[in-house]
């Protein structure tokens, strides 16, 4: 009978836990703040709440004597949160870099069913027709702001590697309008290339990754020698590219009059639907039209989902380890304080405040751990540069880890969830311990 | 060894605590097993004995640049070359242009260069005799429920056919079975098509080849052969770069990500936490047994044997949890790979991971046991018995 009762209580706890965790995952920070306020009011205003507050104070004041085991909880949870936040920050940084490259008021036109720019080929006549569509902004000279571009790959020696260590970089052939389509790009050193010359503008990210891309130096791309004349900064995926005159690139890579894509600046985001409909209805064209925002978001989707999946799997496994670590420490703490808790209950404290006090103590430690882990992840990894071969591109994409407030908040939520589970079972045990047995125990 | 029952009894003196600690250790080594498997699979990629015999020749300019098919003959004449084959990137996608599938248009003998890939004799014959034939990887076929005899509609993201659309139709004539899962994993996800049919059907290829795969007669001559192959087209407009399969794969992985660094830092965080946690458990265990240890010493156990017993206890704890964790990883990895439908190609935990794991267990066990063990050794019998 007793066993059955214990089992039912355990089962009830697990169900309660599952429901709480599910609600907790969905909770925005406002909800959490409201919970904290409600809880504080309960503690301040009701009799039970004041009891709970005083038991908690006793628990917290004895923390110092249990420094070793309390620090296990803090550091264990800091480890989980740190690793989780760092991995998610990697995915976030990657997709943010690609997302920033696009915007809602520029559109990219590629040949139909091409997964990415490098796979697309637009013949000369298409390149002429596309800028005539309505919805495109015209510049002061009355020319449509549309940039036909060519994308090829080139091998370059990697910085800090051996002579055989080459990496792939994306070389983009552009015309004058490329700057008008992307006003965010700034030349940070040197000058723009002169049209018709074998001159290169290199992105900051590319310069960081590959050797010999300094202003004035010569590099060999596509069997030809090029002069680096400038460095540009865009703060997005274009940073990892090399830019040159599209006619020169087309010549050297034998592309004739064809281009890979046409990027246009639209009058406003609402103009996109009409622009897309017009091009798709044109019988002379067989093209796919998307806003650059959609295009780049889609490119990052697979990889960032994968990184997120890895991060959450690793985080979950580590969290399970940390939960058992926390359970261990809190069971030990409850056992050490069994007499004290029994005394409290003997003089009239109810079970509820005892449960609340122990849970609060654990969650406080968990909160500390979460803050520590988040702070470590932020200090070490925010802005840390990494690079990978991006989907849909043919060059190494350099990106920065981005530890956002949203990620830190979800790290804290994980920490508190671990603390909640780790504290619940020891708390219930403490509250259910028969007073007489506990008092007799030495 | 004769003290084993004593150590065992000490370890399970407090069942809850030991079991909770064991689960923490178990999860740490579960994670270790999984991550180390991923790391070694990246490390070992291309390092097989068959891979050492193969050279890859691509354009020196970049990996998207093609080479003329006419290089086949001069390469085959290089002394030390056993066989030459070639392939081109087809850029196939199934159902949705974003659902890209590795698909190569290859020369008839391409599959012969990969003896670790099994294709049954009659399927191979059917492939040779069907212009539109396609060989598909085992896992890929499972994922999309393809059977031999099915029509396979593929969209090329790069190459249109003569009618201007990019819709291609192939016939599945056989399945690629990699014999060695860790070395041939790539073939599980691959579709092989006929280069000849591909070249005839698209106006855009015109005899171009993406890369050559060459087998050499003597592995030790591989470097010389590679140089000789590159010498053929030196100073032409299609200069080549020839590497062993191993070097080429290593270069790709390096460009993809620094796997070692990521795995290393995660494991660092995990093991640091683990040491703290199991160290805390051992401290508690020894502290509450102070009087028992004093009794042991009183009845004649030397200080050294008390030291060894505490150390053995902590090593044993790590070993039980760790071995269970690694075993769980060994069981789980293929399951996870299977559940993902081949999207994740996870290799099984290999012997090296086991050795490294067990080494780590012993080292961590000794480290976390050291402080409590020394304390137990220095125990003053009189003080301990008096509870001072």
Q: Do B284 and A332 touch (CB under 8 A)?
A: yes
Give the integer Cα–Cα distance in Å for A357 and A281.
68
- Token code pair at residue A383: 């802005």
Which of B23, B155, B252 is facing A324, going by the closest CB pair?
B23
Q: What is the pLDDT of residues A394-442, one digit of tens each?
A: 778 888 888 999 999 999 999 999 999 888 888 888 888 788 877 876 5
Q: DSSP letter for A350, please.
A: -
From first CA to last CA, the distance across chain B in angstroms is 32
Q: Do B63 and A298 touch (CB under 8 A)?
A: no
Judged by a CB distance cut-off of 8 A, whether residue A71 touches chain B is: yes
Domain ranges of chain B: 4-45+258-386, 61-238
| Distance of alpha carbon A221 from alpha carbon A171, whole angstroms | 9
Tokens of B326: 């690694």
pLDDT, mean over chain B: 85
The conformation of residue A117, written as its DSSP 8-state character, comes to: G
Q: Is the pLDDT of residue B164 over 80?
A: no
Scan for tokens 């081949």, then name that residue. B342
Position B205 pLDDT exceeds 60: yes
CA gap A339, B385 in Å, rounded: 23
Across the interface, of B34, B155, B277, the residue whose CB is closest to A72 is B277
Q: Which pLDDT band, with edges at 50, 70 and 90, does B132 fall under?
A: very high
Strands annotated E in A77-223: 106-111, 146-157, 166-174, 186-190, 199-203, 218-221
The answer to whether the Cβ–Cβ distance between B62 and A121 falls below 8 Å is no
Q: Which residues on adjacent β-strands are paired with residue A153? A: A170
d(CA A144, CA A136): 6
pLDDT at B204: 80
**Surface of A (280-299) touching B: CB under 8 A:** 286, 298
Could you tell me if A318 lies within 8 Å of chain B, comparing CB atoms? yes
What is the 8-class DSSP label of residue A102?
Answer: -
Which pLDDT does position B182 carry in this prediction? Answer: 56
Average pLDDT over residues B214-231: 89
C-beta separation of B381 from B306 below 8 A:
no
Compare all CA atoms of chain A with the CA of B343 and give the residue at the minimum distance: A306
Q: How far apart are CA A315 and CA A193, in angstroms?
A: 48
Q: For residue B119, what are the β-bridge partners?
A: none
Residues 279-318 of B with CB under 8 A from A: 280-281, 283-284
Other Cβ atoms within 10 Å of B65 Cβ, number: 21
Chain A partners within 8 Å of B266 (Cβ)? 83, 87, 314
Tell how strand A186-190 and strand A224-233 pair up.
Answer: antiparallel
B21 vs A contacts (CB less than 8 Å): 324-325, 328
Percent of chain B with pLDDT over 90: 23
CB contact under 8 A, A154 and B266: no
CB–CB of B280/A72 below 8 Å?
Answer: yes
Residues 6+ apart with CB under 8 A from B353: B33, B36, B37, B40, B326
- Give the pLDDT confidence score for residue A243 in this predicted structure: 93
Per-residue confidence (pLDDT) for residue A50, from 0 to 100: 85
**Which residue of A66, A93, A317, A376 is the best one to mutate when testing the B interface, meaning the one whose CB has the most B CBs within 10 A?**
A317
B181 has pLDDT over 70: no
Q: What average pLDDT score do residues B66-81 get?
A: 90
Identify which of A59, A29, A28 has the alpha carbon closest to the alpha carbon of residue A337.
A59
Give the position of tokens 């790979």: B337
Beta-carbon contacts below 8 Å between A and B: 141
Which residues, numbered 331 to 350 in chain A, qualify as contacts with chain B under a Cβ-Cβ cut-off of 8 Å?
Answer: 331-332
Greater model confidence, B178 or A378: A378
Q: Could you count the other beta carbons within 10 Å of the beta carbon of residue B334?
A: 14
CA distances from B109 to A319, B86, B183 (A): 51, 8, 20
> Is A380's Cβ below 8 Å from some Cβ in B?
no
- The answer for A 73-92 residues in CB contact with B (under 8 A) is 75-76, 79-80, 82-83, 86-87
Burial of B195 (0-12, 13-18, 19+ CB in 10 A): buried
B215, containing H or E segment: strand B211-216
Question: What are the CB-based long-range contacts (under 8 Å, 24+) for B217-225?
Answer: B217/B80, B217/B81, B217/B82, B218/B80, B219/B52, B219/B53, B221/B80, B222/B52, B222/B53, B222/B55, B224/B80, B225/B55, B225/B78, B225/B79, B225/B80, B225/B81
How many Å apart are CA B146 and CA B162, to the nearest integer? 27
Interface of A with B in 143-162 (CB under 8 A): 152-155
Contacts A86 to B, Cβ<8 Å = 265
Q: Which structure tokens are listed for B263? A: 């795995």
Closest-CA residue in chain A for B16?
A: A328
DSSP state of B189: G
Burial class (CB in 10 A: 0-12, 13-18, 19+), B96: exposed
Q: Give the Cα separation of B55 and B215 in Å (integer).
A: 6
What's the rounded mean pLDDT across residues B303-327? 91
Q: What pLDDT sits at residue B337? A: 65
ipTM confidence score = 0.79
Give the distance from residue A48's alpha carbon to the nearest chain B alpha carbon, in angstroms: 31
Whether residue B86 contacts residue B106, with contact meaning beta carbons closer than 8 Å, is answered with yes
Contact B364, B66 (CB under 8 A): no
For residue B191, is pLDDT > 60? yes
pTM across the whole model: 0.83
With contact defined as beta carbons under 8 Å apart, do A361 and A59 qualify?
A: yes
pLDDT of res. B343: 47
Contact B63 A394 (CB under 8 A): yes
- Cα A411 to Cα A409: distance, rounded to the nearest angstrom: 5
d(CA B237, CA B240): 10
Rounded to 5 degrees, φ, ψ at A200 are -120, 140
Cross-chain CB nearest to A119 (options B23, B91, B277)? B91
Could you give the 3-state DSSP secondary structure of residue A150?
Answer: strand
Q: How confident is the prediction along chain A (442 residues), in pLDDT tens digits per residue?
A: 677 888 888 888 888 888 888 888 778 888 888 888 998 888 888 888 888 888 888 888 888 877 877 888 898 899 889 999 998 998 888 888 888 888 888 999 988 777 788 888 888 888 888 888 888 888 888 888 999 999 988 888 888 777 777 888 899 999 888 888 888 889 998 899 988 889 999 999 899 888 888 898 998 887 788 999 999 998 888 889 999 999 998 888 878 888 989 999 998 888 899 889 998 888 888 888 999 998 888 888 878 888 888 888 888 888 888 888 888 888 888 888 888 888 888 888 888 888 888 888 889 999 999 999 999 999 988 888 888 877 667 778 888 888 999 999 999 999 999 999 888 888 888 888 788 877 876 5
Which residues 164-203 of chain B have a CB within 8 Å of chain A? 164, 166
Q: How far apart are CA A235 and CA A205, in angstroms?
A: 9
pLDDT(B57) > 80: yes
Residues in CB range of B220: below 8 A, 6 or more apart: none
Q: CA of B25: which chain A residue's CA is closest?
A: A321
Chain A residues whose beta carbon lies within 8 Å of the beta carbon of residue B239: 223
- Kindly tell me if the per-residue pLDDT of B342 is higher than 50: no
- Residues B4-36 as b/e (b if ≥16 CB within 10 A, e otherwise) read eeebeebbeebeebbebbbbbbbbbbbbbbbbb
B97·A327 Cβ contact <8 A: no
Contacts of B31 in chain A (CB under 8 A): 314, 317-318, 321
CA distance A415 to A287: 49
Helices A2-26 and A405-432 meet at what angle, rounded to 10? 160
Token readout for A345 is: 């209950």
The more confidently predicted of residues B335 and A357 is A357
Chain A residues closer than 8 Å to B257 by CB: 386, 388
């Amino acid at each position: 009978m007793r066993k059955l009762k214990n089992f039912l209580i355990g089962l009830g706890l697990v169900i309660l836990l599952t429901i709480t965790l599910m609600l907790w995952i969905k909770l925005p920070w406002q909800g959490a703040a409201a919970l904290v306020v409600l809880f504080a009011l309960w503690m301040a205003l009701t009799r039970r709440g004041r009891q709970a507050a005083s038991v908690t104070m006793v628990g917290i004041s004895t923390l110092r004597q249990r420094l070793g085991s309390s620090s296990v909880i803090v550091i264990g949870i800091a480890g989980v949160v740190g690793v989780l936040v760092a991995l998610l920050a990697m995915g976030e940084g990657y997709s943010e870099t690609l997302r920033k490259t696009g915007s809602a008021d520029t559109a990219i036109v590629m040949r139909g069913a091409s997964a990415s720019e490098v796979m697309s080929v637009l013949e000369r006549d298409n390149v002429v027709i596309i800028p005539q569509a309505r919805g495109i902004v015209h510049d002061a000279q009355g020319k449509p702001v549309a940039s036909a571009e060519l994308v090829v790959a080139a091998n370059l020696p990697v910085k800090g590697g051996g002579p055989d260590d080459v990496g792939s970089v994306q070389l983009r052939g552009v015309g004058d309008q490329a700057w008008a389509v992307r006003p965010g790009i700034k030349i940070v050193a040197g000058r723009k290339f002169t049209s018709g010359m074998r001159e290169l503008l290199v992105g900051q990210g590319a310069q960081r990754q590959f050797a010999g891309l300094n202003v004035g130096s010569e590099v060999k791309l596509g069997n030809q020698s090029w002069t680096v004349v400038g460095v540009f900064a865009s703060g997005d995926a274009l940073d990892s590219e090399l830019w040159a005159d599209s006619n020169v690139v087309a010549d050297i890579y034998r592309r004739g009059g064809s281009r890979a894509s046409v990027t246009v600046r639209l009058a406003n985001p609402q103009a996109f639907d009409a622009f897309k409909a017009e091009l798709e209805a044109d019988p002379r064209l067989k093209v796919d039209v998307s806003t650059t925002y959609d295009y780049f978001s889609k490119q990052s989707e697979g990889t960032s989902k994968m990184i997120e999946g890895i991060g959450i799997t690793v985080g979950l496994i580590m969290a399970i380890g940390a939960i058992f670590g926390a359970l261990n420490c809190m069971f030990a703490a409850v056992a050490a304080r069994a007499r004290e808790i029994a005394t409290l209950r003997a003089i009239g404290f109810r079970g509820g405040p005892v449960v609340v006090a122990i849970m609060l103590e654990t969650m406080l430690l968990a909160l500390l751990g979460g803050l520590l882990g988040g702070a470590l992840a932020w200090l070490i990894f925010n802005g840390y540069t990494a690079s990978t071969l991006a989907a849909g591109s043919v060059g190494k994409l350099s990106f920065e880890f981005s530890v956002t407030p949203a990620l830190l908040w979800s790290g804290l939520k994980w920490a508190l969830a671990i603390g909640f589970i780790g504290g619940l079972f020891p708390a219930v045990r403490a509250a259910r311990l028969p007073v007489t047995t506990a008092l007799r125990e030495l | 060894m004769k003290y084993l029952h004593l150590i065992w009894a000490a370890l399970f003196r407090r069942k809850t605590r030991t079991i909770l600690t064991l689960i923490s250790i178990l999860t740490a080594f579960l994670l270790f097993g999984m991550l180390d498997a991923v790391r070694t699979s990246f490390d070992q990629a291309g390092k097989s004995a068959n891979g050492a015999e193969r050279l890859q020749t691509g354009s020196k300019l970049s990996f998207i640049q093609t080479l003329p098919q006419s290089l086949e003959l001069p390469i085959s004449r290089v002394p030390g070359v056993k066989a030459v084959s070639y392939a081109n990137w087809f850029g196939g996608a199934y159902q949705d242009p974003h659902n890209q599938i590795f698909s190569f248009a290859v020369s008839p003998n391409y599959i012969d260069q990969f003896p670790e890939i099994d294709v049954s004799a009659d399927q191979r014959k059917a492939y040779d005799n069907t212009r539109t034939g396609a060989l598909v990887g085992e896992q890929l076929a499972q994922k999309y429920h393809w059977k031999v005899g099915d029509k396979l509609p593929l969209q090329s993201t790069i190459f249109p056919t003569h009618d201007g659309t990019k819709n291609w139709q192939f016939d599945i004539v056989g399945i690629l079975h990699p014999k060695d899962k860790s070395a041939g994993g790539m073939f599980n996800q691959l579709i092989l098509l006929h280069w000849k049919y591909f070249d005839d059907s698209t106006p855009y290829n015109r005899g171009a080849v993406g890369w050559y795969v060459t087998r050499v007669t003597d592995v030790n001559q591989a470097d010389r052969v590679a140089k000789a192959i590159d010498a053929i087209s030196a100073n032409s407009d299609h200069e080549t770069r020839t590497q062993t399969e191993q070097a080429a794969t290593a270069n790709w992985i390096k460009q993809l990500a620094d796997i070692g660094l990521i795995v290393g830092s995660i494991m660092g965080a995990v093991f640091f936490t683990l040491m703290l946690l199991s160290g805390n458990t051992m401290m508690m265990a020894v502290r509450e047994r102070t009087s028992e240890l004093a009794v042991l010493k009183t009845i004649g156990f030397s200080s050294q044997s008390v030291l060894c017993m505490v150390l053995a206890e902590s090593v044993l704890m790590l070993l039980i949890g760790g071995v269970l964790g690694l075993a769980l990883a060994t069981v789980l990895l293929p399951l996870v790979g299977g559940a993902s439908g081949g999207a994740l190609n996870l290799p099984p935990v290999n012997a090296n991971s086991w050795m490294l794991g067990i080494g780590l267990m012993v080292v961590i066990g000794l480290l976390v046991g050291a402080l409590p063990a020394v304390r137990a050794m220095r125990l003053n019998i009189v003080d301990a018995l008096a509870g001072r």
